[in-house]
Amino acid sequence: MQKLPLTPTLSPNGDAAGGGSAWRADLIGRLAVQTSERGREQLLRRVRTIDRADGPWLDVGNGRLLSFCGNDYLGLAQHPQLVAALARAAREQGVGSTSAHLICGHRTGHAELEEALAAWTGRERALLFPAGYMANLGVLQALLARGDICVQDKLNHACLLDGAKLGGAELKRYPHADVAAAARQLASRAGAAALLATDGVFSMDGDVAPLRELAALCAQQRATLMVDDAHGLGVLGPRGAGSVSGAGLGQDEVPVLMATLGKALGCMGAFVAGPAALIEGLTQFARPYIYTTAMPPALAAAALEAVQLAQADAWRREKLFALVARFRSGAAELGLPLAASASAIQPLLLGSAAAALDAAQALERRGLLVSAIRPPTVPQGRARLRITLSAAHEEAHVDRLLDALEALRLPPASRAAADDHV
């Protein structure tokens, strides 16, 4: 560890406090040291500028890449009906909402979208947020208080973990998908108000939480169950209503449901759906909702169009899962170290950050864009290529990816990384 840059603590008259004997760490300097350390470990994140998107094809500089790393699962992000709805609303209402929902930013388009989302997910009401991260922070900050307990899967998205901390509750985590361990964590604070939060579809592993078992546990323990269905909505369940609906669970079993509009629906934003008492409470107490400008009304109009298409176009889900089956079958023939996922997220487990980065770079040289996911996003030794499929892909695209993966000639040690997957 490099020595942190230090600055003197100054008194009100500008002199070093205590005769120059007291020093503070320089915050920006400390951040620079941490960034440097991450660089040495090959864990730096970099922004890539995309010039133009054409379905799964991305123009980058002078080249064109076939992307397998976006979350546009239904291929709706560039759908002409969404584009037309957005343009029409922008002409009528302008670009920005200009205000928070509770001032004058809540437009007819927002209200219609909330009603449609509530009906689609089988909830009494829904509430829009600008992003999924803000939605989860808002829910957990509003529901939880000091003295409460929040039990979460260890592979939950970062915003669920941050929300529990913001709410002030005691955060207890259980090994991935281990319902018995979740029960033990709840039992450890039997007298405390409790919320159990889980991803519906885990964003890095692609597997689905044991929702029925968790719902039964929460009913037994009188705990509130919250599901983040960012990667399930539009993809799973009847009419694409999500993983909760696919598990046969309703509002009574899962009273707190969050999902996003920026993945399968191809737009941006998020919502929380549940009983009227929940939504009214969030309206009053969820700070990320109260103190944030509402999403542009034109974007709400596009999202409403996406909600309708996602329900009506069942062929999009059918095509997506046919492509998933084709990819998994081909990967099995090649002996590739795939995680056990039946969703659009197909993680190829490679172990080390260097192996994942090398594989991603090799694929890019072949015209394919696949993200190398490394710590701290995933645990040490669990780096992977996060391959995502979309209804915008074709069979020939999947076959091209499989051919490129075969050419990587992954060593046996990389394949072993899949064997201990939990």
The answer to whether 133 is a known ligand-binding residue is yes
Q: Mind listing the domains of the chain with CATH numbers?
A: 52-74+314-419 (3.90.1150.10), 80-312 (3.40.640.10)
- Name, in order, each residue with C-beta under 8 angstroms of 75's C-beta and a sequence gap of 6 or more: 55, 266, 316, 390, 391, 392, 393
Residue 246 annotated in ligand binding: no
pTM: 0.90
Mean pLDDT of the region 188-205: 96
Calculate mean pLDDT across residues 101-119: 97
Which residue intervals of 169-222 are DSSP H helices? 179-187, 211-221
Catalytic residue positions?
Answer: 203, 231, 263
Q: State the amino acid at position 15 in one-letter form.
A: D
> Is 294's pLDDT higher than 50?
yes
Average pLDDT, the chain: 92
Q: 260-297: string of b/e by CB count within 10 Å (b at 16+)?
A: bbbbbbbbbbbbbbbeeebbebbeeebebbbebebbbb
- Per-residue model confidence (pLDDT) at position 16: 52
Kindly write down the DSSP assignment for every residue of 360-399, as one continuous string: HHHHHHTTEE-EEE-TTSS-TT-EEEEEE--TT--HHHHH
The pLDDT, as a whole number, for residue 160 is 96
- Judged against a pLDDT cut of 90, whether residue 42 lies above it is answered with no
Residue 418 has pLDDT above 90, yes or no: no
Poorest-pLDDT segment among 166-170, 252-256, 279-283? 166-170
pLDDT at 235: 98
The verdict on whether residue 377 carries a ligand-binding annotation is: yes
SS3 255: coil
Nearest to 339 by CA among 418, 232, 420: 418
- The model's confidence at residue 19, banded by pLDDT at 50, 70 and 90, is low
45 among annotated binding-site residues: yes
Question: Does 157 carry a binding-site annotation?
Answer: yes
